[in-house]
Copies of this chain bind each other. A is one copy, B any other.
Amino acid sequence: MKSISAILDTHGLRDTQSRRLVLKVLMQSKKPLSQKDIHACLAKEDRVVNLVTVYRILEKFRDVGLIHHSAGGVVFCSLEQADGHHVLLSCEECGVIEEYCDEELCKHEDRIAKRAGFFPTSHVSELIGRCASCHF
Contacts and interface: CB of A to CB of B under 8 A. Distances in A.
B126 A124 contact: yes
Contact of A109 (B69, B127, B135): B127
Interface stretch (A17-25, A40-48, A88-96): A88-96
Contacts of A109: 87, 105, 125, 127
A54 to B, nearest CB: 15
A92 B71 contact: no
Contact of A112 (B73, B121, B127): B127
Complex copy number for this chain: 2
Nearest to A92: B121
A5 interface: no
Which of A32, A91, A116 has most B Cβ within 10 Å?
Answer: A116
Interface string A19-35: 00000000000001010
8 contacts: A68-B92, A100-B116, A104-B108, A117-B131, A118-B127, A123-B127, A124-B125, A125-B126
